[in-house]
Structure 1
């Protein structure tokens, strides 16, 4: 169907007032959170992980250094202690006690025979005992020199022992383990709080959440264990990191927050201006326009587009008003209803296009036996075309009322219309006829319009036309008028170019040949039914194409 024959009305949308500032603030806050805060937190997490790894590597490196230092310290004590044993073994028994007293770091000096009996000691209570770590004495007898940690029965304390075999005797000395480990206690005050222990190989010596590094001690029954609690690494790794990050974030939030508040307020200003203009337009105040803002940027472009859209809207509203006026004028050109006329059955149709034009048809009864019928098409579009066509219709009726003949009616109408329109270039084509019911004759003339189609009862087709020019072109002295007798059952069909020039989506015209074929095949129908069927056929042919011209049809059948 031709869409423009259907009018559609859209309801006014509901427009709710909203806070531009609040909406913009939320969006900026969201952007700030996503693009600044979250990446910053991720970067802080990355720095924390990187710093923790660096501190862990540093802690392991320090533990290795402490382990190497412990090994070197133990090796040094081992060598020095062997020298002391050699010195003690070379002095006489009377001088050994004096020498032992000179060696203040030593706790106990021991001499055993190969059977494990203590034969000499600076601790008199140990002489003669055979239960002094017999398994160690047995191992020393085989290895010659050996380090171990054990409990001294004389002092009842854990001590570090060195045993060395010298021919048929085993010499030994010991030191208080706590005093000997005292240099390592200072390591807790330097860097990481690392601790050093001597542990048996089979003893794990590891506590939960503790990093342990074990190093084997040469010529000893124990291993050197260097340990560090993981929480100490985390504590050291954290340090002032989070406090610095907190201060940094606080500065960003404070400084950035103040800047963001100012920026949001400033950026929201052109939004508010545009919003206020839209509110005014919504309230039908069309004089408001958006004014550019220095910080408007894209909003200025949007505002300019809105101004242009508003101008276009106002223009379209004026055009719509003009179109509505044109429709009213065009409706005045058409008879409100068709009166019955003796011996005729009448049918008519007017389908307006998108643009207002000057098409009209008219039926005017003159006297008792005459019917003036006309169909016309204005050359222009819009209100002016309607007004010119209204002038022609009024002139035709005025002259027809004076009982003038068809030639005089058309000639006087043309000449008067020419004088009124001047050089405007507007003209109106028309086909005008007078039917006399008493004689069944039709006088007609064509003023540059399409020929009427006459079908006799047998279906023979004849086009009725004369030589003539449109109303308003030039003044004329003569009008060619023809006459034809209409027999009962014949059909007369008048139409405008809106029928033959209807286009489909392919750009094809409905054309005159389709029209004539339709009239021949449907001539048996009553005039109004024939016209309705023709309109439906044209609509089906046009499909969704837009109608560019009015479709005007007039038809009657003689009884």
Structure 2
């Protein structure tokens, strides 16, 4: 009978495995710290209340977002994205996506142009199994004009208890980032434009919120999200986000999130 390995061989193999796992843990810890440094700092938009939260399901996340005041002083770029998959690879692509969107937001501003240039950049590096959903919005804080471009990302919500109907989705259209290059992607884009009135809430989110599943495999869902927004929509953006986080945590009953969750709420005063 052949020996499967001597005791020293087994011990050496175990030691190598421990070192490998320690290196992975250290890499994840470093990536997690770097991701936290990339999160938006406290940002104020004159005439608006703003709140945001980022809830990673793992040590590192595939979600990214930013709120960028532009140089003219009254325009603000907002973007949010979600890389397919999890772990180190998703975190690396997250960094690429955030950097691309931030650079092109400052260079081009117009949503369709920002998304198209970001897509051309990312499509060169993403493999065939990886894609990024993204949404970019340009706000003129003085007039309330909001231009929205969407690349396969969940539709944002506009809510105002004084409106009829009280809420609506922003119907911008576009393919996900990284799946098609050049004219194919550009032709898929259809921007949406609207004007935020006083009291209007503009709400962005990643699908980790609505696709959270409880112990019975029931999804949190869009209907539940909209019910909570409607119930708390007259409150501040921070209170609305806090309510959503409480509700999804209660819905999960201690079960961990299966995907990253990012929420952004902007309300015109």
State the TM-score, normalizing by the size of structure 2.
Answer: 0.88
Among 131, 140, 158, the alignment partner of 1:427 is 131
Q: Secondary structure at the match of 1:377?
A: strand
Quick one: structure 1 residues 426 and 503, their matched pair in 2 at CA, closer, same or farther if it must change by over 3 Å? same
Cα displacement (A) at 1:465 = 3.2
The residue aligned with 2:118 is 413
CA distance in 1, matches of 2:84, 2:134: 11
CA distance in 2, matches of 1:549, 1:308: 34
Cα displacement (A) at 1:326 = 2.4
| Pairing 1:483–2:193 present | yes
| Pairing 1:463–2:178 present | no
Quick one: structure 1 residues 354 and 388, their matched pair in 2 at CA, closer, same or farther if it must change by over 3 Å? closer
Structure having the larger proportion of residues in helix: 1
Q: What are the within-5 Å matches in structure 2 for residues 302-317 of structure 1?
A: 304=10, 310=15, 312-317=17-22
The residue aligned with 1:505 is 215
2:155, 2:170 within 8 Å by CA — same for their partners in 1? yes
CA distance in 1, matches of 2:22, 2:167: 47
CA distance in 1, matches of 2:39, 2:143: 28
Q: Secondary structure at the match of 1:466?
A: coil
Quick one: structure 1 residues 422 and 517, their matched pair in 2 at CA, closer, same or farther if it must change by over 3 Å? closer
State the TM-score, normalizing by the size of structure 1.
Answer: 0.44
Quick one: structure 1 residues 468 and 485, their matched pair in 2 at CA, closer, same or farther if it must change by over 3 Å? same
Quick one: structure 1 residues 412 and 403, their matched pair in 2 at CA, closer, same or farther if it must change by over 3 Å? closer
Among 461, 474, 477, the alignment partner of 2:180 is 474
Q: What are the within-5 Å matches in structure 2 for residues 327-342 of structure 1?
A: 327-335=32-40, 337-342=41-46
Q: What are the within-5 Å matches in structure 2 for residues 246-395 of structure 1?
A: 291-292=6-7, 304=10, 310=15, 312-335=17-40, 337-354=41-58, 356-366=60-70, 367-395=72-100
Cα displacement (A) at 1:468 = 0.7
Quick one: structure 1 residues 313 and 509, their matched pair in 2 at CA, closer, same or farther if it must change by over 3 Å? farther
Q: Secondary structure at the match of 1:505?
A: coil
CA distance in 1, matches of 2:235, 2:194: 22
Provide the alpha-carbon RMSD of the alignment: 2.2
Q: What are the within-5 Å matches in structure 2 for residues 149-298 of structure 1?
A: 291-292=6-7
CA distance in 2, matches of 1:476, 1:527: 37
Compare 368-377 and 393-402 and name the one that shifted more: 393-402
| Pairing 1:516–2:226 present | yes
CA distance in 2, matches of 1:309, 1:545: 32
Cα displacement (A) at 1:308 = 6.5
Structure with max Cα Rg: 1
In structure 1, stretches of 5+ residues that fail to align are 1-289, 294-302
CA distance in 2, matches of 1:533, 1:313: 42
The residue aligned with 1:545 is 255
Cα displacement (A) at 1:498 = 1.5
The residue aligned with 2:205 is 495
CA distance in 2, matches of 1:423, 1:358: 15
CA distance in 2, matches of 1:340, 1:475: 36
2:160, 2:233 within 8 Å by CA — same for their partners in 1? no
